[in-house]
Structure 1
Amino acid sequence: MRKRDDPRQRDKETDMKKDRSGNYFEDFRVGMRISHATPRTLTEGDRSLYIGLTGSRAALCTAETNARQLGFEHRPLEDLLVFNTAFGKTVPDISLNAVANLGYAEVRFISHVYPGDTLAVDTEVIGLKENSSRKSGVVYVRSTARNQHGREVLSWVRWVMVHKRDHGAACGEAMVPATEAAVPAERLRRSDYTARVREITAMTGFDDLWEDYAVGERIDHPGAMTINDSDHSLATRLYQNTARAHFDGHAMAANGGQRLVYGGHIISVCRALAYDGLENGLSMLAINGGSHVNPSHAGDTIACATQVLDKVDLGQDHVGGLRLRMIGVKNAGAASIAFPEPGEGRPAHPSNVVLDLDYTIAMPKRQR
């Protein structure tokens, strides 16, 4: 709506429209800052629903007694519950008119979030690139979530392909931001882990710690999960993600398609499946990069495998970092997944690959 010196002199038609159709590609400008609406308080109820939708078994987050034994006053919320909730806050302004969310970089889990914490999110547009078809373009943003005390708890870069409202609209010169290949060790969270985290093995029943993983090692996670229509519908609503591609089956059918499973739900499902083989992982420290390679739909069965990319020295005797590459597939087993050779980069994936995620977790070390 145009701003006027005299608020009484309004265009009646504009005043009545109250357009909530979201931003299209030509509406974005590099440097634009957006404070997203309706901060969200997360509760134990959100945690329970998240577990019900994903099967998460993370020891630190599963029981209050576990967390206290590991040196925490209370059990924190699952990192991806926090990420997906914060992500959902950005959708009405950034990706309501998205074609697809394309990738992530520099995702930093800066501080644990606990039940009762309230998240507020703001975003800066850091890059734009119109597609050659002129029907859409890629928007690059950096978003930050803060708690009720104004403390940063999460930040991330993502890029999303967004429809243009007017295919002929003029767009500025392309600007694609540079991102780090991996969040460096000195920017990873470490201060809230004490030597007591080693006691996690008594809770999980498995003894594999940081020293027991080797660079290049492959782990085929044995489980698989079929995504029901109700699963991804509830998950998307839990995160208040209003993207039409996930919500509006009628609109998707009109374009010859069907509703897409929100990519963050795929990440959460794969992370839950990856518990088997990474049982003593404490929490996520970073997502270094990732992409939703192909779409998922209701009825798809998801499986995944992990490769250890690196072992990260966090400068502490009791905890280290594991940089992992997790590839998720639909309607196939984990054994079918092909990891690229070192130095090969990110080759073209087959059509059944739905996720390629490079992330870092905290893992207890053995006592010397």
Structure 2
Amino acid sequence: MAQQKPKTNPGRYFEDYAVGQTLVHAVPRTVSGGERALYHALYPARHALYSSDEFARACGLPASPIDDLAAFHVVFGKTVPDVSLNAVANLGYAEGRWLKPVYQGDTLRSESEVIGLKQNSNGKTGVVYVRTRGLNQRDETVMEYVRWVMVRKKNLEAGAPETVLPDLKPALDASDLVIPDGLDFSNYDFSLAGEPHRWGDYEVGETIDHVDGVTIEEAEHMMATRLWQNTAKVHFDLTFRPEGRLIYGGHVISMARALSFNGLANAQMIAGLNAGAHANPCFAGDTIKAFSEVLDKAETAAPGVGAIRLRLVATKGDVQDVHNGQKDEKGRYKTDILLDLDYWALMPI
């Protein structure tokens, strides 16, 4: 009897990647109002542009898009079976740009290119760098980003590949950002948006404590991770991390972004992702709080629209304890820091 080939997918290991390799990710997804409803049920998301078609139309868009991070999660989730199914950790992000809003009825798919490899000194793991693009049904790129993950080796005897480290920008310039067609904040309604603070009210170096906190629940993070069709084993299977199911890092990002509404209600659209680190693991029962630091500001060519660069820090401890020191003397994040995210947002001038 002929030996049958395996029909299941164990996921790629570090030795299965090669620089220049293109990964076409399976299962395109058509988004609907269901994504918005579930996103707003899972997170305290309240930004007006993503809540109201009428508010979005008053800002020059044809309708309310789905939240930028919801679109990110859909694109990201497609990549997991090919990039991070056997990952130890998702290490960082760079050069992320939102290029087109995603509307109900759009169908998203993902492709990634391997742009870097580095085996770790222990010989058991390595770091894989990929540039991912999310495309819609018209083959238009709606977003792109680089991320790097630590991936297990299956064959510890496999030789180390040549080290290739991509040359990545430490931060996007404001000129790299793409403003959605038609976006116009000239007649922006601050009362409906929820806060009076505009672009000119924020100063570089200012820190904003977002006050509120949310305790992460086991059921909610597993529902969210399934919603984005993220199949990473560490989020579901306790045998991989007996101390608890690891909370999907995107769940922490969305929770922190939603908390930032209190103080940044008018930072309506995310346009760029400069850098990001999941500093420490998050588990059910952790209470997330957040603060933001204003890093930079820039005008744009769109009427009434300014760009603001923000550092969003999520912590499971008291925010006041970490304002002035998120790292120890060796440069390592303190254990209370969950997320350190550097991004550009669009705000009315």
With the shorter chain as reference, the TM-score category is: over 0.9
Structure 1 outlier segments of 4+, above 6 Å:
none
Per the alignment, in what secondary structure is the counterpart of residue 308 of structure 1?
A: strand
> Equivalent residue for 1:300?
286
Report 1:74-85 matches (<5 A): 74-85=63-74
Report 1:7-156 matches (<5 A): 12-15=2-5, 17-156=6-145
Report 1:1-368 matches (<5 A): 12-15=2-5, 17-196=6-185, 198-253=187-242, 257-330=243-316, 332-339=317-324, 347-365=331-349
CA offsets 1:295-341 (integer angstroms, 9 cap, x no match): 000111000100000002223451110000111101x2222222569
Do 2:98 and 2:270's aligned partners in 1 also have CA atoms closer than 8 Å? yes
Instruction: Let me know the Cα RMSD of the aligned residues.
Output: 1.8
Letter in 2 for 1:88: G
Q: How many residues align?
A: 347
- Larger CA deviation: 347-356 vs 24-33: 347-356
Cα gap change, 1:363 to 1:236, in 2 (>3 Å): same
Query: 1:259, CA displacement in angstroms?
Result: 1.0
CA distance in 1: counterparts of 2:180 and 2:55, whole angstroms? 19
Query: 1:167, CA displacement in angstroms?
Result: 1.4
Q: Structure 2 unaligned runs (5+)?
A: none
- Larger CA deviation: 308-317 vs 164-173: 308-317
Cα gap change, 1:198 to 1:217, in 2 (>3 Å): farther
CA distance in 2: counterparts of 1:50 and 1:317, whole angstroms? 29
> Equivalent residue for 1:4?
none
CA distance in 1: counterparts of 2:50 and 2:101, whole angstroms? 11
CA distance in 2: counterparts of 1:197 and 1:20, whole angstroms? 52
Per the alignment, in what secondary structure is the counterpart of residue 70 of structure 2?
A: helix
Per the alignment, in what secondary structure is the counterpart of residue 220 of structure 1?
A: strand
Do 2:116 and 2:165's aligned partners in 1 also have CA atoms closer than 8 Å? yes
> Equivalent residue for 1:7?
none
CA offsets 1:79-126 (integer angstroms, 9 cap, x no match): 000001100000000000000000000110111000110001100000
- Larger CA deviation: 75-84 vs 58-67: 58-67
Q: Structure 1 unaligned runs (5+)?
A: 1-10
CA distance in 2: counterparts of 1:39 and 1:339, whole angstroms? 44
CA distance in 2: counterparts of 1:323 and 1:252, whole angstroms? 35
Per the alignment, in what secondary structure is the counterpart of residue 230 of structure 1?
A: helix
Cα gap change, 1:26 to 1:319, in 2 (>3 Å): same
Query: 1:142, CA displacement in angstroms?
Result: 0.2
Per the alignment, in what secondary structure is the counterpart of residue 344 of structure 2?
A: strand
CA distance in 2: counterparts of 1:80 and 1:191, whole angstroms? 16
CA distance in 1: counterparts of 2:51 and 2:99, whole angstroms? 21
Per the alignment, in what secondary structure is the counterpart of residue 149 of structure 2?
A: strand
CA distance in 1: counterparts of 2:344 and 2:37, whole angstroms? 25
- State the TM-score, normalized to the length of structure 1: 0.91
CA offsets 1:1-42 (integer angstroms, 9 cap, x no match): xxxxxxxxxx93242x21400100000000000110011111
Query: 1:250, CA displacement in angstroms?
Result: 3.4
Do 2:11 and 2:85's aligned partners in 1 also have CA atoms closer than 8 Å? yes
Do 2:183 and 2:303's aligned partners in 1 also have CA atoms closer than 8 Å? no
